C-alpha cells in the first residue's frame, strides 16, 4: 500500500465545505468524477457501517463496504475500507479483499480567514494509484465549485 495525498483550498467556511462533501445530494455530484451514479448508503457517524456504491458496466450495483473509524465534526473524518459489494453481495473475507482490507481514507478540514483547506490522505494499492491521481483532483475541483457556488445563491 502506498499513501496518496490530495488537497484543495475552497473559499467557504469549513462547516459549509464539510456539509457539501458529506450531504447526499452534493456527495452524488462531486463523486461523479469517480463513477456517475456514485452514492452512499449509511451515515457518517463514528462506528457506522457505510456502503459506497455505484453502477457497474452492466448496471449492477457495486462498491465498497466501509466503517466510519473517526468523525470529528467539521475537522476530520476517517473511513476504513473493509471489503467490496459485488452483484449486490458484501464480501469482507475473500483473499482478494484481505490484501487491502483496513485501507484508510482520511479527510481533514482546516480553515483560515474564510478559506478551507481540504486534505485527503488515502491508502492505495499501486495498481490503482494512477487512476486515483487522475480522479481525485477532478472530484475536489467539483467539490470546490459546489461549495463556493452555493454561497453565492
pLDDT tens-digit map of 66-97: 999 999 999 999 999 999 998 878 999 998 88
Q: How far apart are CA 32 and CA 99, in angstroms?
A: 27
Q: How far apart are CA 109 and CA 126, in angstroms?
A: 26
Taking alpha carbons only, the member of 115, 130, 80 closest to residue 100 is 80
Q: What is the mean pLDDT of the chain?
A: 93
pTM assigned to the model: 0.92
pLDDT for residue 152: 52
Q: Using one digit for the tens of pLDDT, what is the confidence trace for 106-125?
A: 999 999 999 999 999 999 98
The distance between the two most distant Cα atoms of the chain, rounded to a whole number of Å, is: 49
Q: Domains of the chain (ranges plus CATH)?
A: 2-151 (3.30.530.20)
Task: Say which residue the cell 464539510 belongs to.
Answer: 18
Whole-number CA gyration radius for the chain: 15
Q: How far apart are CA 94 and CA 2, in angstroms?
A: 21
Amino acid at each position: 500500500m502506498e499513501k496518496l495525498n490530495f488537497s484543495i483550498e475552497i473559499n467557504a467556511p469549513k462547516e459549509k465545505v464539510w456539509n457539501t462533501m458529506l450531504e447526499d445530494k452534493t456527495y452524488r455530484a462531486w463523486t461523479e468524477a469517480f463513477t456517475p451514479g456514485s452514492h452512499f448508503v449509511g451515515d457518517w457517524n463514528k462506528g457506522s457501517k457505510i456502503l459506497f456504491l455505484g453502477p457497474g458496466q452492466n448496471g449492477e450495483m457495486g462498491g465498497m463496504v466501509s466503517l466510519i473509524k473517526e468523525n470529528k465534526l467539521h475537522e476530520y473524518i476517517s473511513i476504513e475500507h473493509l471489503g467490496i459489494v459485488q452483484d449486490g453481495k458484501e464480501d469482507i473475507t475473500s483473499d482478494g479483499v484481505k490484501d487491502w482490507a483496513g485501507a484508510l481514507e482520511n479527510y481533514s478540514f482546516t480553515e483560515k480567514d474564510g478559506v478551507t483547506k481540504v486534505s485527503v490522505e488515502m491508502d492505495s494499492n499501486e495498481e490503482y494509484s494512477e487512476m486515483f491521481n487522475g480522479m481525485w483532483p477532478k472530484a475536489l475541483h467539483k467539490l470546490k465549485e459546489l461549495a463556493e457556488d452555493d454561497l453565492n445563491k
